[in-house]
């Protein structure tokens, strides 16, 4: 049986913390779907198409990655696609309470016995979040080394377009 996993998130934008999880998870499963949530609850900097485009470019060297998007309940999307596992990255103990709550709620909703698999984030990236990256970049700070090069270019482009408005 093929072992398929999904890594879901808003990826606004994708960071090196996400990339670390994607590279490691892709080695554990036959295929890894990166599922971008279409209707982000928080206001997003990038549109869905832009977030997907960035992910496509920065993961093109990973052969078993599939990029998709979904809206609504994650468990419905997981059940429709029959994934064996849902990947989550744990950055710090502060992530734990939210993650266990979400994993336990989802476990009730999964119909195919899908497991939530937690990967400990590489300590070099544990302080990164997409919001922090956007805040630092918007105030002129460097995010080099914290996001893929293509993400960095796209953030710069986006922020200069916003400034010109
Ligand atoms: N490295 C760096 N940053 C990471 C990271 C990692 N390994 N893992 C998560 N993050 C950061 C993200 O950058 C993001 O930062 P931000 O808040 O500053 O933007 C933050 O952690 C949250 O991640 P995000 O991907 O935006 O969303 P989420 O962790 O809240 O979960 C879904 C996303 C799609 C899984 C979740 O919202 C969901 O399931 N939505 C569907 C609705 C649903 O089913 N609800 C019921 C759930 S029980």
CATH number of the domain enclosing 149: 3.40.50.620
Backbone angles phi, psi at 121, to 5 degrees: -65, 140
Q: Is the peptide bond before 118 cis (omega within 30 degrees of 0)?
A: no
| 10 has catalytic annotation | no
Q: What does the alpha-carbon distance between residue 119 and residue 74 come to, in Å, rounded to a whole number?
A: 19
pLDDT tens profile 29-54: 999 999 999 987 778 999 999 999 99
Of 105, 130, 131, 151, which is best to mutate to test ligand 1, by the most ligand atoms within 8 angstroms of its C-beta? Answer: 130
Domain count, the chain: 1
Q: What does the alpha-carbon distance between residue 42 and residue 159 come to, in Å, rounded to a whole number?
A: 18
| 144 has catalytic annotation | no
| 18 has catalytic annotation | yes
CB 5 within 8 A of CB 33: yes
3-state class of 71 per DSSP? coil
Dihedral (C-alpha) 65, 68, 72, 76: value to the nearest 10 degrees?
A: -60
Structural domain harbouring 136: 4-164
Q: What is the pTM of this model?
A: 0.94
Strand ranges inside the chain, DSSP E: 4-9, 31-37, 65-70, 85-90, 115-120
- pLDDT (tens, 9 = 90+) of the chain, 165 residues, equals 899 999 999 999 999 999 999 999 999 999 999 999 998 777 899 999 999 999 999 999 999 999 999 999 999 999 999 999 999 999 988 889 999 999 999 999 999 999 999 999 999 999 999 999 999 999 999 999 999 999 999 999 999 988 887
Cα 136 from chain centre: 19
- Check pocket membership of 64 for ligand 1, CB cut-off 6 A: no
Distance (angstroms) between ligand 1 centre and the Cα of 10 equals 6
């Amino acid at each position: 049986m093929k072992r398929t996993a999904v890594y879901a998130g808003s990826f606004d934008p994708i960071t090196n913390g996400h990339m670390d999880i994607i590279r490691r998870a892709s080695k554990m499963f036959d295929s890894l779907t990166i599922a971008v949530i279409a209707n982000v609850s928080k206001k997003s900097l990038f549109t869905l198409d832009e977030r997907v485009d960035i992910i496509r470019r920065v993961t093109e060297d990973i052969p078993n990655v599939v990029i998709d998007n979904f809206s609504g309940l994650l468990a419905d999307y997981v059940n429709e696609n029959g994934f064996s596992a849902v990947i989550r990255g744990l950055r710090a103990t502060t992530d734990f309470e939210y993650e266990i709550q979400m994993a336990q709620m989802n476990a009730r909703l999964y119909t195919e016995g899908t497991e939530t698999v937690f990967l400990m984030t590489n300590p070099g990236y544990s302080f990164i979040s997409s919001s922090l990256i956007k805040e630092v970049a918007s105030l002129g700070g460097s995010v080099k080394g914290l996001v893929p090069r293509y993400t960095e270019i796209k953030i710069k482009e986006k922020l200069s377009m916003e400034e010109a408005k």
